[in-house]
Amino acid sequence: MRAIACSVRRTNAVQVVAENKTKPTRASVTEFINSIDDPQKRADARKVAAMMRKSTGKRAKMWGSSMVGFGQYHYRYASGREGNFFLTGFSPRKSALTVYIMPGFEGYRKQMEKLGPHKTGKSCLYLKNLASVDRNALEEIIRDSVSVMKKRYG
């Protein structure tokens, strides 16, 4: 599961769970994408957004100030922590386009081999640009990860 920016602290044996810091906002996704300085990164963001909308059937929402998310699921951990997060999303960072594949990459070895140059974190796929990757493999990973998340969380 993707680590979400938050904190948990204990006070006199009572657990205090901090609120999830990454939430949907009312900010305009179109304005955010249009504000990307680099024309290639802006075009890549539009293409990934189209893939994600097709995979989720949902419109994009801003999550925080720099993440674009599609769909939503509710999670609850054994610790009692719970919240909402997007099914899939992306963030056009300076160093790479970050694509969020929420279930992680364990089941996608074949697609990852076909994908082309990339790096991964726990649920983050880092791409320098879309021109260097197999878009069919990327779309398959996104589509399948959304399906996994919907089955897992309803």
For the stretch 39-49, pLDDT in tens is: 999 999 999 99
Q: For the whole model, what pTM was predicted?
A: 0.86
Class of domain 22-153: alpha beta
Q: Are 100 and 88 in contact (CB under 8 A)?
A: yes
The single-letter DSSP state of residue 143 is H
**Angle in degrees, CA 122, 54, 61, rounded to 5:** 65
Question: What are the tens digits of pLDDT across the range 13-29?
Answer: 555 555 677 899 999 99
Bridge partners (DSSP) of residue 82 are 76
Domain boundaries, the chain: 22-153
What is the rounded CA–CA span in Å between residue 65 and residue 85? 14
pLDDT surpasses 90 at 152:
yes
Query: In the numeric block, which tokens belong to residue 98?
Result: 């970050």
The per-residue pLDDT for 92 is 97
pLDDT in tens, 76-126: 888 888 899 999 999 999 999 999 999 999 999 999 999 999 999 999 999
